[in-house]
Amino acid sequence: MSIAIVTGGASGIGRAIATSLVARGDTVVVTDINAAGAQAVADKLNTLGKGKATAAALDVTDADAVADLFTGVKAEHGRLDLVFNNAGISIGGAAEELTLAHWDRAIDINLKGVVHGVHAAYPIMLEQRSGHIVNTASLAGLVPMPLGIPYTATKHAVVGLSLGLRAEAAGRGVKVSVVCPSFVDTPLLTNVNPDLPATSMSGDAKDDIQKAAPRLYTAEKLAADIMRGVDRNKALIVAPAHGRAAWRGVRLNPGAATRVAGLAVSRIRSGK
């Protein structure tokens, strides 16, 4: 039985990860800025009759709050085995539409939120000489994804952070993995740029996204991929298969991959 923390656990990928953990008998702290949503997830998970879930309100942009929660979980349970830095926000729009507010929000949540989780978890895991940090990035952290470059930039940063930390942690008992899914059917697709100035992709961008990427993956299938990847201590967990193919294409021919991304932009702009 593992002791785990999942950020952004009230919906989407975070909820699916928490469900997979409890289903295999783990104890999970489901955290989210949406406290009621996190509590609802924990309540439902406690009906599975296997592991155990509790809920906690957490704003990952608040470094002190993240540190307090992580040290509190360690103090209560005596250890901290798994941390899923999963909370994120969807930012979309052409570069000329984006304001500094879009950039700041993406950096604060998608990048600094992960930094805060790593900064809180890593010392605990070094001290106990065990643990696994799993950071949620995106396929957008491996391939050129236009029409949302603040999102793309932060996800590239999370990939680099994770792989660099994995190298540092090697031999010290701490494992680090980064999750890079292609488009997943979650509320992020229908809540682009929340509480930010509107762009051409604000609000529900699911139809636009499906013009460029019609095959949406489910959060439940991704969670299964993540659990397998964590069990195998994979550095990069890229899913599904078409995401791995896109990643391979970028590595083989970056110029062609950028041209393909440009075609997707044209398709979205034309409305076809």
Give the model confidence (pLDDT) of 185-195 as tens digits. Answer: 888 878 899 89
SS3 call for 115: helix
The CA–CA distances, whole Å, from 147 to 80, 143, 203, 211 equal 38, 13, 14, 13
Q: What percent of the chain has pLDDT over 90?
A: 81
Q: Does pTM surpass 0.85?
A: yes
SS3 call for 60: coil
DSSP letter for each residue of 126-183: HHHT-EEEEEE--GGGTS---S-HHHHHHHHHHHHHHHHHHHHHTTTTEEEEEEEES-
> What range defines the domain where residue 105 resides?
3-270
> Could you give the angle at which helices 112-128 and 149-169 cross, rounded to 10 degrees?
10
> What is the per-residue pLDDT across 129-172, written as a single tens digit (0 to 9) for each?
999 999 999 999 999 889 999 999 999 999 999 999 999 999 99
By annotation, the residues acting in catalysis are: 151
Closest CA to 87 of 25, 121, 136: 136
Range in 31-45, 117-131, 239-253 the model is least confident about:
239-253
For 114, residues 6+ apart whose C-beta sits below 8 A from its C-beta are 60, 85, 135, 136, 158, 161
Considering its fold, how many domains does the chain have in total? Answer: 1
Can you give the CATH number for the domain in which 17 is found?
3.40.50.720
Which value, to the nearest 10 degrees, does the dihedral of the CA atoms of residues 76, 227, 61, 194 take?
Answer: -130
